[in-house]
Amino acid sequence: MSQLVKRRSRRTGMFRGLIQRPSRSRYERDAEVAEFLREILPTREYLEAMEECRARFGADRTPSRSSIQRFAARMAKRAGPAGLGNSLEIGS
In eight-state DSSP terms, residue 60 is G
Residue type, 43: T
- Per-residue model confidence as pLDDT tens digits over 28-63: 778 899 999 999 999 999 999 999 999 999 999 999
pTM (2 decimals)? 0.60
Phi, psi of 39 (to 5 degrees): -75, -40
Query: In this predicted model, what pLDDT tens digit does every residue of 1-38 receive, in sequence order?
Result: 445 555 555 555 555 555 555 556 767 778 899 999 99
